[in-house]
Chain A
């Protein structure tokens, strides 16, 4: 494997791994806070059990998220030193604020995890909320770093020099709002569906039904709200891409030729040699509508982009299709669930609907990975859009392939251990939390 490819793969692997933990770290505290709140209000012990069980899971994920994040902050330099040498001072602002957010999150988590029965209940609950809010803030801030790479701002690029640096302008770049909004919703949808699905599976299997029903409801409501909003946020993202990165949009839609009015392509196999897409379903005028809000607008194709500035088409296109397809599926499940809640109280836990939730367990995370593939591969060959090429940023050190193999092994083994631990947590639910009702009452008084 050549060093450049190895460096890109290692970066993609580390980010792809980290984002899973980041999503969970951002979202689970809110689920816990709801369960915790309901427990404080109703004193129904199921809620406390759910909050406690989740907080154990969160501790496991937090550790993995924190170390993978630490790896990333070094990796940016280890793999892309020339990028960081110039970009660091410009896009560093959100990272330095993010440091604060992480720190507060870690402190609040310290209070939360060790505070059961020790802290004042209201303060204990509050620390849980702080974990969530600061986690979310750090996610939104770090996305600003990425959106700056897609939409560089806050400096003048003159003869290879980065002059008149303005870190605040760099942070508030054009792509940030769209990316941060879409990413935040994605975190809720992905984590929510994964958690709801696991509890749905337990209900189907008739294990500790009361415990799992409580957990399922909380996660499902969050997931479904996010899933319904997500396509709208995606539309905002697509419009923002069309403005700043026409090459990326063309690759997403596999548009080899500029077209007016532009149909939306669904599915299809991009044929890069003949510059056309085979077997796609065309919705006439839809892409023009998505980009320009009218059915007649022109959409630029790759023919307007010099060959050496074009991103890989097939990967970007497939990833985009996967994200949108899964997004539609999740929205459909969400609409069904809300219809169930609205009309017939008891369908919401009928087996077929629960089975849909089980099917949705991985969909959110697959969509997240696909979405990032669109964003990052679609930005190629640039590491800073239009300013610096990825190939010029890579470290001069040879042998990156070996480090890629080592990190791959680490990430694979970490994933296996985390799955194994969660499996054991779930298996222990009957022992730890499923005391008979009478018993619980006793404990309670």
Chain B
């Protein structure tokens, strides 16, 4: 059963990265769009993420529940040593989720809108930044349960070049995913061109951030090159990601919208696969070398069994409903456009 649970955990992290990421990305793109054009970006983004944003952030909650029920030692270690970035991320989620709804449901449109907008845009940036920092910290080997002073135990565990570089990489990946997604949502060819341009820029930024991650890893003496390229799965994942990137641009140039989305999602999947596979089954790499493993640190069998069944039964209900939701709104949008 614990493989089932690990797959669910991985999938919920992946879906949060891809779907939640595109959602964050829409905000980041808007943040980096010059003032006069923001309105257009916002309209496309609201159309795209409106009906499903709430479902998106459930992936995170599911991952958290899987961790605390199935792998409590991992959950409590992260909670203790990554307390500060977790709190910042929570503040980001709170600010963003509420500002989004407030700006769409306020009955009166006036200066308040500007405030909601600003909160929404900045938190769209901060939240994935810290999500990335948390993910980076889990594998950076800087978490040190034997530390005795505040800085080493609670600050340097996450404030290091590697984690921050992963954070920035996550931000740019989200923006890339969002711009690819929004190409197909654009209401007219001018907007579509605009999103294609943004996708190009964010693609370059993402590759740049990726390079920064490797440099930071070198600086922090983290053998990232060996991790990613030192095993077949990692290597294949990276090659597939690169090839699909080329294909993606060919398809975008031909005016396709659906296939590039799938390819962009595929790239994110490959990146996550490459970085998680090398550590598997370790989830947290500790400074002391006592890594927290999804095998050795799982809950007792009875808990794993009920958790696994709850997840399986839950997905039987959820997946068809979710597909139907996506389907209905896609259909609806196309009807409106034609």
Q: A70-B60, A85-B72 are in contact. Are A110 and B108 (CB under 8 A)?
A: no
A427 touches B65 (CB 8 A): no
Q: Could you say which residues of chain B place their CB within 8 Å of the CB of A60?
A: 101-102, 105
In the docked arrangement, what's the CA distance between A378 and B8, Å? 38
Interface members, chain A 35-83 (any B CB < 8 Å): 56, 59-60, 62-64, 66-71, 73-74, 76-78, 81-82
- B317: interface (CB < 8 Å): yes
A67 touches B97 (CB 8 A): yes
- A295: interface (CB < 8 Å): no
- A264: interface (CB < 8 Å): no
Task: From A194-202, A305-313, A390-398, give the one contacting chain B.
Answer: A390-398
- B290: interface (CB < 8 Å): no
In the docked arrangement, what's the CA distance between A86 and B300, Å? 11
Tell me how far the C-beta of A405 lies from the nearest C-beta in chain B, rounded to whole angstroms: 12
A78 touches B87 (CB 8 A): yes
B311 touches A96 (CB 8 A): yes
Q: Could you say which residues of chain B place their CB within 8 Å of the CB of A70?
A: 57, 60-61, 90, 93-94
Which residue on chain B has the smallest CB distance to residue A79?
Answer: B79
Of B51, B57, B107, the residue contacting A56 (CB under 8 A) is B107
- A177: interface (CB < 8 Å): no
Interface members, chain A 166-184 (any B CB < 8 Å): 166-168
Q: A60-B102, A85-B72, A395-B80 are in contact. Are A99 and B65 (CB under 8 A)?
A: yes
Task: From B24-32, B183-191, B207-215, B302-310, give the one contacting chain A.
Answer: B302-310
Interface centre among A56, A76, A95, A168 (most CB of B within 10 A): A95
- A104: interface (CB < 8 Å): yes
A398 touches B150 (CB 8 A): yes
B78 touches A100 (CB 8 A): no
- A359: interface (CB < 8 Å): no
Q: A67-B98, A74-B79, A106-B55 are in contact. Are A428 and B311 (CB under 8 A)?
A: no
Q: Could you say which residues of chain A place their CB within 8 Å of the CB of B66?
A: 96
Task: From A185-193, A233-241, A278-286, A417-425, give the one contacting chain B.
Answer: A417-425
Tell me how far the C-beta of B47 lies from the nearest C-beta in chain A, rounded to whole angstroms: 11
B306 touches A93 (CB 8 A): yes
Q: Could you say which residues of chain A place their CB within 8 Å of the CB of B102?
A: 60, 63, 417, 421
A432 touches B72 (CB 8 A): no
- B239: interface (CB < 8 Å): no
Q: A62-B54, A85-B73 are in contact. Are A100 and B318 (CB under 8 A)?
A: yes
Tell me how far the C-beta of A62 lies from the nearest C-beta in chain B, rounded to whole angstroms: 7
In the docked arrangement, what's the CA distance between A192 and B135, Å? 43
A63 touches B83 (CB 8 A): no
Q: Could you say which residues of chain A place their CB within 8 Å of the CB of B154?
A: 397
Which residue on chain B has the smallest CB distance to residue A76?
Answer: B68
A167 touches B306 (CB 8 A): yes
- 1/0 per position for B46-64, CB-CB distance to A under 8 A? 0000111011011011101
- A92: interface (CB < 8 Å): yes
Tell me how far the C-beta of A160 lies from the nearest C-beta in chain B, rounded to whole angstroms: 16
Chain B residues within 8 Å of chain A by Cβ, number? 61
Tell me how far the C-beta of B82 lies from the nearest C-beta in chain A, rounded to whole angstroms: 9
Q: A62-B54, A67-B94, A89-B72 are in contact. Are A84 and B79 (CB under 8 A)?
A: yes
Q: Could you say which residues of chain B place their CB within 8 Å of the CB of A403?
A: 83, 87
In the docked arrangement, what's the CA distance between A74 and B98, Å? 18
- A242: interface (CB < 8 Å): no
In the docked arrangement, what's the CA distance between A59 and B104, Å? 10
Q: Could you say which residues of chain A place their CB within 8 Å of the CB of B52?
A: 110
Q: Could you say which residues of chain A place their CB within 8 Å of the CB of B69?
A: 88-89, 92-93, 95-96
Of A67, A81, A118, the residue contacting B76 (CB under 8 A) is A81
B107 touches A424 (CB 8 A): yes
Q: A63-B100, A396-B80, A414-B98 are in contact. Are A77 and B75 (CB under 8 A)?
A: yes
Which residue on chain A has the smallest CB distance to residue B101?
Answer: A63
- A111: interface (CB < 8 Å): yes
Which residue on chain A has the smallest CB distance to residue B73?
Answer: A85
In the docked arrangement, what's the CA distance between A73 and B108, Å? 33
Instruction: Sample 27 A-B pairs with CB under 8 A, ordered by A number.
Output: A64-B98, A68-B94, A70-B93, A71-B94, A74-B79, A76-B68, A77-B79, A81-B80, A84-B75, A85-B75, A89-B70, A92-B65, A95-B65, A96-B66, A99-B62, A99-B65, A100-B313, A100-B318, A102-B61, A106-B54, A107-B55, A165-B299, A167-B302, A403-B87, A410-B91, A410-B94, A417-B102
B78 touches A77 (CB 8 A): yes
Which residue on chain A has the smallest CB distance to residue B75?
Answer: A77
Which residue on chain B has the smallest CB distance to residue A106?
Answer: B54
A96 touches B310 (CB 8 A): yes
Tell me how far the C-beta of B70 lies from the nearest C-beta in chain A, rounded to whole angstroms: 7
